[in-house]
């Protein structure tokens, strides 16, 4: 039935064996790390791997954390329907890596923080730290629910796997190795899952090349179908994907994901040296390039096979996110175990992201909410608390999967969530790191204004999605289909759910075709710029930041901006001792309830 529509095969016994074996292997890696480090039960060991991780496994973990099941499912479908414009994110990944490695990593690393939001208290105030942490928790819970639900739904409808059974099993596996193994278990499991994800893409491309007569044929089919026209230099901010929206908006969005998101910050500050931390981001950049390239070419392979019979238009599937699972069951079912490998690839991405989120949520909850209040807890009590919170957040993430079912397309919805919430937070960090004038009042007001704007445009865009003139889907055909059970099925707005389509038909306000049609990639830029500008203005009107002396270590320094600036041991030691000294002198104990905890962390850093 390949390329002509109709029903495809379902899972065989061997597919179930491969899938289950992969999931159990992931759990086994976590349990191994738990047994291996059973004598090291400190909170620092659980949350940061004892700050002794090296660059390569951390880099693979950074890549796997956000190259999730959403990437495995969503990116090939994006390339199939909209062409290779998504590959331009490779430029965004490069900009993000340089900015994060040279500006944010040195700052966080020398402060010896565990939670990324500790910085907000050091620079502004404790209430702002708690607000920032709360925003992160809400964002991560929503995103993780989407990560769990969307791939499960797509694979359930194609393979017949029980939806909620797999959802609960996914959460349970993550809870087990997060609870017992901590960050080391998460990172080393991510390494395994990254390899499996890439193997899944390679299997699809290789089989597609055999069926179509080579990679050249796939490339030619894609060119003839308009899929290779990636460079659109139209500056219109309402167009969903152009060179400028991806380069500018995409870069800011990915900077917000990697530079201040606890899931990512927690990884690179777990490295044993600043050099390893920076290197992990540059290696991660290469990993992102490889992953997005394989994902996009998988989409082109899919187009070459279905260029004459679109399964969505033909009614064989119900959402664009089911395209790749449908393709896998169509072209790989003759090879027992290979479809199981692909499903394992999608779920490996899900496990990676969920485990990262759980571990990060535990870290910010302990460091930002519990430790400043309960300073008398023993190390054993802290360990049990970490484990208990891992179970709790695992259950919350599974519960949020239900909410995620209303979010529409997985890829755009996931990135929109980050844009709406991370944009104002990134603006707040840049406001504090680059300027001395902003105070806590200006920072808070600026962040609130930025958040209100991004939520307004983001929710409006979800309720009244842009028309196809702005999203620009490429044409598909059903002329070669054997069956035509759904030729009237519309794909005019494939990135929306049926609920939003109904709303769109009933009522469409004037803002729907202007403000609400703003490219989702500009959400983050909008929030960042608004927060910086309004925060600076309010700070100047309220007297600036004259009420307390600020350490120079809270700001970006010139010597931070040198790529791969490996310091000698003596120089690094001197820098850390200076950081400890400056923080001791400038910290206000009355406004830093966790001063003692932070001091111990800095003192520990000077001994490394």
CATH number at residue 189: 1.20.1730.10
- Alpha-carbon distances of 447 from 387, 516, 544, rounded to whole Å: 33, 21, 16
Query: How many independent structural domains does the chain possess?
Result: 1
Say if 227 falls within a structural domain: yes
- Alpha-carbon distances of 422 from 115, 293, 386, 507, 555, rounded to whole Å: 16, 26, 25, 30, 20
Euclidean distance between CA atoms 164 and 153, whole angstroms: 9
Phi then psi for residue 225, to 5 deg, are -90, 5
Say if 10 falls within a structural domain: no
| Contact criterion met (CB below 8 Å) for 376 and 597 | no
pTM for this one?
0.80
Helix/strand/coil for 519: coil
Say if 6 falls within a structural domain: no
Say if 3 falls within a structural domain: no
* pLDDT of amino acid 178: 64
* pLDDT of amino acid 485: 41
Q: CA-based diameter of the chain, in Å?
A: 76
Percent of residues in the chain assigned helix, strand, coil, to nearest 5: 75, 0, 25
Exposure string of 146-155, with b = 16+ CB inside 10 Å and e = fewer, is bbbbbbbbbb
| Contact criterion met (CB below 8 Å) for 188 and 41 | no
| Residue ranges for the chain with pLDDT beneath 70 | 1-9, 30, 33-34, 36-53, 65-68, 150, 154-155, 157-159, 161, 170, 174, 177-186, 348-349, 352, 402-412, 483-506, 545-548, 561-608
Say if 567 falls within a structural domain: yes
* pLDDT of amino acid 247: 94
| Contact criterion met (CB below 8 Å) for 304 and 208 | yes
- For 360-382, the DSSP string reads HHHHHIIIIIITTT-TT--HHHH
Q: Which residues contact residue 229 at a Cβ distance below 8 angstroms, ignoring those fewer than 6 apart?
A: 83, 84
Burial of 253 (0-12, 13-18, 19+ CB in 10 A): buried
| Contact criterion met (CB below 8 Å) for 100 and 323 | no
Say if 296 falls within a structural domain: yes
Euclidean distance between CA atoms 241 and 232, whole angstroms: 8
* pLDDT of amino acid 444: 93
* pLDDT of amino acid 3: 66
Phi then psi for residue 132, to 5 deg, are -60, -45
Closest CA to 259 of 102, 87, 406, 434: 102
Q: Which residues pair with 271 in a beta bridge?
A: 53
For residue 226, the surrounding DSSP H or E stretch is none
* pLDDT of amino acid 599: 44
* pLDDT of amino acid 329: 85
Closest CA to 320 of 505, 549, 492, 135: 492
Say if 488 falls within a structural domain: no
* pLDDT of amino acid 262: 83
Closest CA to 268 of 254, 253, 256, 258: 258
* pLDDT of amino acid 191: 75
* Torsion angle, alpha carbons of 399, 405, 410, 416, to 10: -80
| Contact criterion met (CB below 8 Å) for 601 and 113 | yes
Say if 2 falls within a structural domain: no
Range of the domain at 342: 15-35+43-405+412-481+495-607
* pLDDT of amino acid 144: 80
Euclidean distance between CA atoms 254 and 269, whole angstroms: 18
């Amino acid at each position: 039935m390949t390329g002509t529509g109709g029903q495809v095969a379902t899972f065989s016994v061997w597919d179930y064996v491969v899938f289950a074996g992969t999931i159990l292997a992931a759990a086994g890696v976590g349990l191994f790390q738990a047994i291996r480090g059973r004598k090291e039960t400190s909170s620092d060991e659980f949350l940061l791997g004892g700050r002794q991780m090296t660059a390569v496994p951390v880099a693979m973990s950074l890549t796997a954390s956000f190259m999730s099941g959403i990437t495995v499912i969503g990116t090939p479908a994006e390339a199939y329907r909209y062409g290779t414009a998504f590959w331009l994110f490779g430029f965004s990944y490069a900009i993000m890596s340089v900015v994060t490695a040279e500006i944010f990593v040195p700052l966080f690393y020398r402060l010896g923080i565990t939670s990324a939001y500790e910085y907000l208290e050091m620079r502004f105030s404790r209430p702002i730290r708690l607000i920032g942490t709360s925003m992160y928790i809400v964002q991560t819970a929503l995103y993780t629910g989407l990560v769990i639900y969307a791939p499960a739904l797509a694979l359930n409808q194609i393979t017949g796997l029980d939806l909620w059974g797999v959802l609960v099993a996914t959460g349970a596996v993550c809870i087990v190795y997060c609870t017992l193994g901590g960050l080391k278990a998460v990172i080393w499991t991510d390494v395994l899952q990254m390899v499996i994800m890439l193997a899944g893409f390679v299997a699809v491309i290789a089989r597609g090349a055999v069926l179509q007569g080579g990679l050249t044929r796939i490339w030619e089919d894609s060119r003839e179908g308009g899929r290779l026209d990636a460079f659109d230099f139209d500056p219109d901010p309402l167009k969903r994907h152009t060179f400028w929206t991806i380069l500018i908006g995409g870069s800011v969005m990915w900077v917000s994901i990697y530079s201040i998101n606890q899931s990512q910050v927690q990884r690179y500050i777990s490295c044993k040296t600043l050099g390893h931390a920076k290197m992990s981001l540059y290696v991660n950049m290469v990993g992102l390039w490889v992953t997005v390239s394989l994902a996009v070419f998988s989409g082109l392979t899919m187009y070459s096979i279905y260029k004459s019979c679109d399964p969505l238009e033909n009614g064989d599937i119900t959402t664009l996110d089911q395209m790749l699972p449908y393709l896998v069951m169509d072209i790989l079912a003759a090879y027992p175990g290979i479809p199981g490998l692909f499903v394992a690839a999608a779920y490996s991405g899900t496990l990676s992201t969920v485990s990262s989120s759980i571990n990060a949520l535990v870290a910010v909850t302990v460091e930002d909410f519990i430790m400043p209040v309960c300073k008398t807890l023993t190390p054993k009590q802290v360990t049990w608390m970490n484990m208990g919170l891992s179970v709790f957040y695992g259950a919350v993430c599974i519960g949020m999967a239900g909410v995620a079912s209303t979010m529409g397309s997985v890829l755009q919805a996931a990135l929109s969530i980050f844009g709406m919430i991370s944009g104002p937070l990134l603006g707040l960090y840049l406001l504090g790191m680059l300027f001395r004038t902003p105070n806590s009042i200006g920072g808070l007001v600026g962040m609130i204004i930025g958040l209100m704007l991004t939520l307004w445009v983001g929710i409006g865009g979800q309720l009244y999605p842009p028309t196809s003139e702005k999203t620009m889907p490429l044409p598909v055909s059903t002329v070669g289909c054997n069956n035509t059970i759904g030729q009237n099925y519309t794909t005019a707005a494939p990135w929306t759910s049926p609920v939003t389509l109904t709303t769109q038909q009933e009522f469409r306000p004037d803002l729907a075709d202007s403000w609400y049609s703003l490219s989702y990639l500009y959400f983050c830029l909008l929030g960042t710029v608004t927060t910086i500008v309004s925060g600076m203005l309010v700070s100047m009107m309220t007297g600036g930041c004259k009420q307390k002396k600020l350490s120079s270590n809270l700001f970006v320094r010139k010597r931070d901006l040198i790529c791969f600036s490996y310091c000698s041991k003596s120089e690094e030691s001197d820098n850390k001792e200076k950081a400890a000294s400056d923080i001791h002198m400038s910290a206000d104990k009355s406004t830093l309830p966790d001063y003692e905890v932070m001091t111990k962390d800095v003192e520990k850093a000077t001994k490394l």
